[in-house]
Amino acid sequence: MGVYVLLMLFLGVVALITIGLILLMGLRFHNRRVARKIWHRLQSSSQSTKFHPAMVSGLPMPVQRYFLHAIAPGTPIATSVDLKMQGQFRFSLTHPWIPMQAKELLSRRGFIWQATIGRGLAQFQGADYYYEHRGRMQFALGGLLPIVDVQTADTARSAIGRLAVEWMWLPTALLPQQGVEWRAIDDNFLEAQLTIDDEPVKLTFQIDAAGRLLAGSGLRWGDQTVDRHWDYLPMGGHCDAERTFDGLTIPTQVGVGWHFGTEQFFEFFQATIDQADFFTASRLSECSPMSVS
């Protein structure tokens, strides 16, 4: 009888584990399906206009210098960019840097960043996105066991700040024709004001004499405070290298963190852009929906 009871207990545990794995795999499949849907929809908007210097001729000369360096004349106005990157990430100043590989679809309407962070048994996979007024961060250990799944008004507002700062990788989204107001603070510092889904945003760019972007920052809603309350905090980073893809020149080596420009600067993200594919009306007509793993 004792052996029979133990056998039943064992089979019960196996059954529970099996059911749990099935549920987790189902959740993983659902999350990937949602990610594919968002990825495809962020690619779907397009326009066939090409960049001409006259589009920025009314802006202050330092702002013109930035755009004329970032966008070659005759380049189609890209509405989204598919980025592939690698680098490292850390959770706090006391945590070590861990490797990161990711791909991102960045658009004027939102972004989705899918990443694998860490190594071995400590590796986790997931996505961070902003789309249709919703911001969500979702990661799972081994891509299966959920450890973070947050979707609140705070994460949505925070994601808007990230979206705006990352438009340094999609300079066509910052043209004045997109509703962005520019001014030159001086010959090397620029300020852009815009609104994303009713959220006002102010960006500050530092450029050199050639118009190359050296640093970018903005106020982002976050809880990186002493008592973890939410507030607008300076977030930004330095740009250490650049590369031209399809007529657009963007930073390809960056370090980003909270409290940018202060003594409390916490750099948590370092990345190198390996590839950038910009999507325009003609490119989109040639592309099928992208599969996202």
Q: Where are the domains of the chain?
A: 2-286
Question: What are the pLDDT digits (tens) for 140-164?
Answer: 887 667 888 899 999 999 999 999 9
Region 274-289 average pLDDT: 64
What mean pLDDT, rounded, does the chain reach?
86
The phi and psi torsions of 161 (rounded to 5 degrees) equal -60, -40
Question: What are the pLDDT digits (tens) for 209-226?
Answer: 999 999 999 999 999 998
User: Is 63:182 a contact under the CB 8 Å cutoff?
Assistant: yes
- Work out the percent of the chain whose per-residue pLDDT is above 70: 80
**Topology, domain 2-286:** outer membrane lipoprotein receptor (LolB), chain A (2.50.20)
* Rg of the chain taking only CA atoms, in angstroms: 22
On the question of pLDDT at 287 being above 50, the answer is no
Question: What are the pLDDT digits (tens) for 25-53?
Answer: 555 555 567 667 766 777 755 457 899 99
Alpha carbon distances (Å) from 167 to 56, 164, 170, 178, 268:
17, 5, 5, 12, 19
Question: What are the pLDDT digits (tens) for 88-135?
Answer: 999 888 889 999 999 999 999 999 999 999 988 788 899 999 999 999
Q: What tokens appear for 24 in the block?
A: 């987790």
Question: What are the pLDDT digits (tens) for 77-101?
Answer: 999 999 999 999 998 888 899 999 9
